[in-house]
Amino acid sequence: MFLLETIDFLEGRVAERTADGCVLDVGGIGWYVHVPMRTLEELKMGSVYRLYVVAYETHKQVILVGFLTRTERFLFQKLVQIQGVGVRTALAILSVYTPERLITITENQDLKALQAVRGVGSRLARRIVVELSGALPPVHADVPPIAQDAWYEALGWLEKLGISAKEAKHLLTAVWESHPEFTAEEAVRAALRQWGGALIQGGSSQE
């Protein structure tokens, strides 16, 4: 299974609902998108939604997984990177818990809460906690009064550029504390300037 990064979101009318997803009518083309159960419960037939998607290509087809927020998509992407967590298990976790609740579970190392999700045993629960620990901003962090989506969007961009989740979190916290009005794009630019400056200073100190 290969990850495709050519589609960011799909916006269209819900033409059909199934047990694990929906058909989104986008300009007359029906896209089948798998979604968490909590998301499916919010989708109303005939209404228009924007779903932030992750696309996977298999040897037979392209699979789309969609979310109502970038925050949920970010958490899904972090989950499927963990050994033993596939698409189904990640969707199951996000079907049971909101992003905020999942972050709290990780902070508190609540293994029993994770084991309550179908397909998650004790070993996998522990691995999830270890992998996500420190990589996600605390729910009650005194970070910027901005939309959660902007935070996770910026965090995702920095990670794609090769910056570790912990370092990206530190950089973005500093940026938004100084400039709470920044958009995700502006925050990423400022974080990269800080990161580049730190690298230059680190290199100079070693000379």
- Asked whether the beta carbons of 78 and 67 are under 8 A apart, the reply is no
Class (C level, CATH) for 2-67: mainly beta
Alpha-carbon distance of 63 to 60, in angstroms, equals 10
194 alpha-carbon distance from chain centroid: 24
What confidence score (pLDDT) does residue 88 get? Answer: 92
Contacts for 24 with CB less than 8 Å, ≥ 6 apart: 10, 12, 13, 14, 15, 30, 31, 32, 33, 49, 51, 66
Superfamily in which the 148-201 domain is placed by CATH = Ubiquitin-associated (UBA) domain (1.10.8.10)
Pick the CATH number of 70-132 from 1.10.150.20, 1.10.3720.10, 3.40.630.30, 3.40.190.10: 1.10.150.20
Cβ proximity of 117 and 101 under 8 Å = no
* Residue 161 exposure: Cα atoms within 13 Å on the Cβ side: 15
Domain boundaries, the chain: 2-67, 70-132, 148-201
Distance CA 201, CA 207 (A): 10
Q: Yes or no: say if 195 and 171 are a contact pair by the CB < 8 Å rule.
A: yes
Q: Put residue 11 in one of left, alpha, beta given phi > 0 → left and psi -120 to 50 → alpha.
A: beta
Identify the pLDDT of residue 137: 63
Q: Six-digit token pair at 133?
A: 């620990």
What distance in Å separates the CA atoms of residue 91 and residue 34, rounded to the nearest whole number?
9
* pLDDT tens, residue order, the chain (207 aa): 656 667 889 999 999 999 999 999 999 999 999 999 999 999 999 999 999 999 988 777 889 999 998 888 989 988 998 999 999 999 999 999 998 899 889 888 999 999 999 999 999 999 999 988 766 765 544 444 445 677 778 888 888 888 887 788 888 878 877 887 788 888 889 889 888 765 444 544 444
